[in-house]
Amino acid sequence: MADKNMMKVKLVRSMNGRIEAHKACVRGLGLRRMHQVVEVEDTASTRGMVNKVSYMVKVVTES
């Protein structure tokens, strides 16, 4: 898994009261609770999910 491009995504806003499709995107990314950080593959499908719920998640970069 180390040879694939990965990105870290963090849930920064609550899923309460959100559209069901947006909740499904967040769950599909593997996020379950606030401030949780997950590492997902950097593919077109995951980028689309992140873009759809960009107001709730943040792509974390480490320097």
Looking at the DSSP bridge assignments, the partners of residue 8 are 39, 60
Domains of the chain: 6-60 (3.30.1390.20)
Q: Which helix (H) or strand (E) holds 40?
A: strand 37-41
Q: What is the percentage of the chain residues whose pLDDT exceeds 90? A: 87
Pick from 31, 25, 27, 28: which is nearest to 52 by CA?
Answer: 25
**Cα–Cα dist 57/34, whole Å:** 10
Q: What is the percentage of the chain residues whose pLDDT exceeds 70? A: 92
Pairing of strands 6-11, 57-60: antiparallel
Residue entry with tokens 């180390």: 2
pTM value is: 0.86
How sure is the predictor about 63, in pLDDT bands with cuts at 50, 70 and 90? very low
